Structure 1
Amino acid sequence: MLAEGGSVAAVAAAHGYGSEAAFSRAFARVTGETPGRVRRAAA
């Protein structure tokens, strides 16, 4: 979803996270990259 241009907030909500910050921390912990970096790299 991030690579397709979805916002971090929209992706977080779609996956059941209560906040964008919680999703960002979990994403970075699992992938080693921040969601914003992944989204920018896909653009």
Structure 2
Amino acid sequence: CKLVINNIQVLLGVFGSLLLNVIEFTILMAITKKYLVAITNDCSKAIY
């Protein structure tokens, strides 16, 4: 039996369509800020 003292909500963002070595990956990110997924997605597009 576990004693739950508190809980937090963590957003799960999808950072999708990352192409590495001709294989497409979809990456899940557990984040606390909503804008981090958008920034990561935009930066990955800028690399290609």
Tell me the TM-score normalised to structure 1 length. Answer: 0.33
Larger radius of gyration: 2
Name the structure with the higher helix share: 1
Higher relative contact order (CA 8 A, sep 6+): 1
Higher strand share: 2
Given the two structures, how large is their TM-score scaled by the length of structure 2? 0.31
